[in-house]
Amino acid sequence: MVDLRPVGYVIGLLVASLGLTMLVPLAIDLLAGNGHWFVFFESAVITIVTGGLIALACANGVSEGLSLRQTFLLTSLVWLMLPVFGAIPFVLGATDASFTNAFFEAMSGLTTTGATVLTGIENLPDGLKLWRGILQWLGGVGIIVVAMVFLPELRVGGMQIFRSEAFDTMGKILPRAGQIASRISVIYIILTISCALAYSVTGMVPFDAIVHAMTTVSTGGMANSDASFGLYGAGAHYVGSVFMLLAALPFVRYVQLIAGTAQPLWRDTQIHTFLWIVLVTVLLMTSWVWGREGVMSEIAFREALFNITSIISGTGYSSADYMTWGTFPVVLFFLIGLIGGCAGSTSCSIKVFRYQLVFAAIKSQIRQIHSPHGVFTPRYDGRPISEDILNSVIAFLVAFILALGATSVLLGLTGLDFITSVSGAAAAIANIGPGLGTEIGPAGNYANINDTAKWILAIAMFVGRLEIMVVLTILTIKFWRN
């Protein structure tokens, strides 16, 4: 049997820590003079006490090293338990949310998906708006640590190719996770403060600037109003675009940059490919809108830049309803959402490096067909790609497609139409946020879909954020055998 005590101890500490963060929105509501602060007081007490008791109950099993099975369990259970407690302020709060809606909102926040079931967001208490931002901010830094520490060790989806860059952690998962988290946190905080200051310069009020900085750097996308970024002007759109791009780059490169080594940042082929994809799609979309409107305008370029950056990074902000731009933009937005940003960033979806690995393998296979007696080894960033990594990437892609299809079918069975089912499944599994159509598109939200569909989508967010294979592994019978 798996010894669950080390896993429970860490989860207990993380749950208690989540409870401590509830004191921040508590203070905001208290200073604002509204009675909503007591909601966060109750939530904090429940969360801190429960987390503390779990940690105390498991303290006698603490160890520095985690086995492979314990690491799989820890990675999965953290992203299930935290949304449960993160949902408490929504249940007790002024939103009158059911547990289904509250869990959906918390899961969407911590997985940085950005889908929301709340309406009239601008009328919510400031503490609840801040809580949505905090959930996404914590989820963003959390997924970076998972991507840099745990996924390379678990050999999930080809992430082991970054094992040497994400530091060697075998047998020392927890100490290394703490060291890496501290380095990443410094960079993460610097980016967040810089983003908040930049938003303030554009005229955004300080509170909105702080919350939007949290949801921008985490590529989460939860805004402080139903209109998302449609409320703000050109300055905020350009600032948002820049910081969404920065957040979608590998954070290990920032660690190396601060350490005095800038060369890896400039030479990273994954970064080059990602930025080229953004540039080409923005130019395509701008040209399309210019041709459609018959006039070359800065607004068209800005809206193309902001919305494409938002979708490809998995942030999910919107500054306009791109569903009205025509058929081509809708198809393009759907496809770029399935690309995603760079590995080791806060962004989501399939990730650029996996496409690079697959294309390298295809190129090698084509050369092999032309020259049957030749030896052609696929390479990534100048390094040979092992068969183990290619198999891992192919397995991930197949699992992603199957999960997308299964989720779409399940959503269809709940009564959702085809566009809503397929785009909703993609938006959840790829952690993008908005789907397509009038209901869950950029001008809508997930408030009016049925509860069964919300649970399916919440599970899809969880599975997608953990790169699918982690969850599938712990569901096998062999995993639980000695």
Residue appearing with tokens 């890496």: 180
Res 153: pLDDT: 65
Res 62: pLDDT: 72
Structure tokens that stand for 376 in this block: 């052609």
281 has a pLDDT exceeding 70: yes
| Cα angle value 381/141/2 (rounded, 5°) | 90
172 has a pLDDT exceeding 80: no
How far apart CA 214 and CA 139 sit, in angstroms, is 10
Cβ atoms of residues 278 and 314 within 8 Å = no
How far apart CA 422 and CA 438 sit, in angstroms, is 14
How far apart CA 137 and CA 21 sit, in angstroms, is 11
Res 466: pLDDT: 87
Residues comprising the chain, all counted: 482
Average pLDDT value for the chain: 87
The arithmetic mean of pLDDT across residues 8-22, rounded, is 92
481 has a pLDDT exceeding 80: no
How far apart CA 65 and CA 39 sit, in angstroms, is 38
Res 166: pLDDT: 46
Dihedral of CA atoms 396, 399, 401, 406 in degrees, nearest 10, equals -160
How far apart CA 13 and CA 56 sit, in angstroms, is 9
296 has a pLDDT exceeding 90: no
- In DSSP terms, 383 is beta-bridged to 380
**pTM for the structure as a whole:** 0.91
Dihedral of CA atoms 267, 271, 273, 278 in degrees, nearest 10, equals -140
Res 1: pLDDT: 66
- Helix/strand number for the chain, H first, E second: 23, 2
3-state class (DSSP) for residue 347: coil
Neighbouring CB atoms inside 10 A of 365's CB total 12
pLDDT band at 324, cuts 50/70/90?
confident
Percentage helix, strand, coil for the chain under 3-state DSSP, each rounded to 5: 70, 0, 30
The arithmetic mean of pLDDT across residues 125-131, rounded, is 93
- Sorted by sequence, the CB contacts under 8 Å of residue 143 that are 6+ apart come out as 111, 112, 346, 465
- Sorted by sequence, the CB contacts under 8 Å of residue 323 that are 6+ apart come out as 330, 436, 437, 438, 441, 442, 443
Cβ atoms of residues 112 and 244 within 8 Å = no
How far apart CA 12 and CA 106 sit, in angstroms, is 18
What string of DSSP letters covers 271-306?
Answer: HHHHHHHHHHHHHHHHHHHHHHHTS--HHHHHHHHH
The arithmetic mean of pLDDT across residues 375-380, rounded, is 82
313 has a pLDDT exceeding 80: yes
How far apart CA 31 and CA 37 sit, in angstroms, is 9
Res 201: pLDDT: 96
Report which of 177, 223, 157 is spatially closest to residue 392, judged by C-alpha positions: 157
% of the chain surpassing 90 pLDDT:
52
22 has a pLDDT exceeding 90: yes
Strands 379-380 and 383-384: antiparallel
Residues 210-229: tens digit of each pLDDT: 999 999 999 999 999 988 89
pLDDT band at 96, cuts 50/70/90?
low
Structure tokens that stand for 25 in this block: 């929105």
What string of DSSP letters covers 202-251?
Answer: TT--HHHHHHHHHHHHTT----SSTTGGGGS-HHHHHHHHHHHHHHTS-H
- Cα–Cα distances in Å, from 39 out to 16, 18, 344? 17, 15, 35
